[in-house]
Amino acid sequence: MRRIIYGVSLIWLVLVALPLLAQETPSPSVTEAAIEATPELEAAPDSPFGSEVLLLINARTDLELLGDIVGGTERPLGWSGSLDINDPQLALLIRLDLELLAGRVAGMNQRPDGWFGAVPSTAEAIARDVRHDLELLADMVNAPGVRPPGWAGADVLMRCSRGVQTLVNLLERGGVFTLNVDVNAADFCQQAEIQASQFAEANLLRLPQNVPASVETEGQGGAVAAPQPGQIQVSTGYTVAFLNRYGTEQVGVIPLSTALTPVARSFTEFSRMTLVEGDAFTVFVDYRTTSLADVDFALLPDINNVNYETFCNAEWCRAVVQTAGSPAARRPTGSAATGPGGRQYVPVEHLVTYYDGQDANGATVARFQLCAQPRNVAGATCEPVTEVAAPDGTLLVSVGSVNGIPQFRVPYGYSTHSPRSRSYYMVDMWIAQPGESGRPR
């Protein structure tokens, strides 16, 4: 009888989740980041695996940990245990196993409050839904917030509702907002919802609607005339101004319909950063938040060949806010989450790279250190990277060592290689090519 019940439930789950497989992965609903300091968002199209793959790998690891706690080595009937990252059905198989384990813990027809379940969406959203429900199940298996040793975890935001996740990610990827909530707070999601909603209501919903450029409008700074020949206009309420092309010095949001004069652009691959001039400011912006056409952006001169000095003295300018480029991608997972070998996750600002050359086939030889604090903090404690895991989980073979630090051959650009020291680890990395930001000249 139990086999019949499990079989029927498994068929029902497949019927519910099959639409997930029928959907092609769409283009991201939020435009890719224009910030050179945000390689995981800029270079993702060239990465062999999407960000959802890492989410699914960690979800599988944590799901198996819960399975061990619930039933030891025994697994529910129909359990796949799949971790084939080349299988297009991987997300579905992990979702099915999650539902099977939830049925054993809570009952076949019972689920924790707030359970998302199988809902057709993008590959990344499906992976986030799996993580959300996995955390709910972990709260049932253990005490709320308590996780077993070796728990990989994920961005704490994924424990919140879809609406909160979408709003915070939209604001953060637009570069206009940084969530500032204690990741260990019991009411993290409620605080995140309030903070993001208040920001949107105060700063975005009050913006005037966009109108054709030929019409004089009342913008945030008063009457704004149509642009003159050679000028462009701000075309969205998310045009963030930066003092550098790396997107680490934010100075405010440029009012809608403000006239700009494009000067030069970054030639770094995937970057959309454009130097523009206006009334009392010279700053960098993402050209796609302006009326600048793609072909005109492509014809702009290289910023490396232009003498310029950025500043911001307009009425809308704000004090400089130091940003990491992608707050959503670098939010801590909480004190309960640890990585391989009990290591602590650190963001890209904590990585020190020593380039040793020997370039070949789009790769270079380099050494790395991971630090307890950002690398530009005086006195930061750093450890040599002794392991680099490839995207498939295998460890790279060291090709040598210099000053006691192992050397590894790694690809240029963005990849999901995971550098690891004795105490710290990262889940991806960006190797700058000669002349790019972050690469010594």
Q: What is the pLDDT of residues 337-373, one digit of tens each?
A: 445 667 888 877 788 899 888 888 888 999 999 988 8
Is 404 among the domain residues? yes
pLDDT at 165 over 80: yes
Asked if 164 and 89 sit in the same domain, the reply is: no
pLDDT band at residue 88, thresholds of 50, 70 and 90?
confident
In total, how many domains does the chain have? 4
In angstroms, the Cα distances linking 264 to 286, 386, 436, 438 are 12, 41, 16, 20
Confidence at residue 3, expressed as pLDDT on a 0 to 100 scale: 40
Q: What 3-state class would DSSP assign to 200?
A: helix
In angstroms, the Cα distances linking 245 to 34, 93, 192, 281 are 9, 42, 29, 15
> Position 108: which residue type?
M
Is 239 among the domain residues? yes
Asked if 92 and 180 sit in the same domain, the reply is: no
Asked if 307 and 360 sit in the same domain, the reply is: no
Q: What is the average pLDDT across 293-307?
A: 88
Asked if 76 and 15 sit in the same domain, the reply is: yes
Tens digits of residue pLDDT in 171-224? 877 666 778 888 888 888 999 898 888 887 776 665 444 433 333 333 334 444
Is 212 among the domain residues? no
Q: What is the average pLDDT across 82-111?
A: 88
Residue 13: which residues within 8 A CB-CB, separation 6 or more? 95, 96, 99, 118
Closest to 392 in 3D by CA, of 85, 80, 94, 91 = 85
Residues 325, 330, 334: CA angle, nearest 5 degrees: 155
pLDDT band at residue 397, thresholds of 50, 70 and 90?
very high
Asked if 192 and 223 sit in the same domain, the reply is: no
Closest to 424 in 3D by CA, of 330, 331, 343, 342 = 343
Q: pTM above the 0.95 mark?
A: no
Asked if 19 and 106 sit in the same domain, the reply is: yes
Domain range for residue 293?
217-322
Question: For tokens 């005086």, what's the residue?
Answer: 378
Confidence at residue 420, expressed as pLDDT on a 0 to 100 scale: 93
415-419 LR contacts (CB < 8 Å, sep 24+): 415/47, 415/48, 415/391, 416/47, 416/49, 416/53, 416/54, 416/391, 417/388, 417/389, 417/390, 417/391, 418/340, 418/388, 418/389, 419/351, 419/368, 419/370, 419/385, 419/387, 419/388
pLDDT band at residue 410, thresholds of 50, 70 and 90?
very high
Confidence at residue 4, expressed as pLDDT on a 0 to 100 scale: 39
Structure token digits, residue 325:
């480029």
Confidence at residue 175, expressed as pLDDT on a 0 to 100 scale: 62
Is 28 among the domain residues? yes
Q: What 3-state class would DSSP assign to 363?
A: strand
Tens digits of residue pLDDT in 49-61? 456 888 888 899 8
How far apart CA 43 and CA 54 sit, in angstroms, is 16
Asked if 283 and 409 sit in the same domain, the reply is: no
Is 115 among the domain residues? yes
Closest to 90 in 3D by CA, of 141, 119, 54, 41 = 54
- The larger pLDDT score, comparing residue 158 to residue 209, is at 158
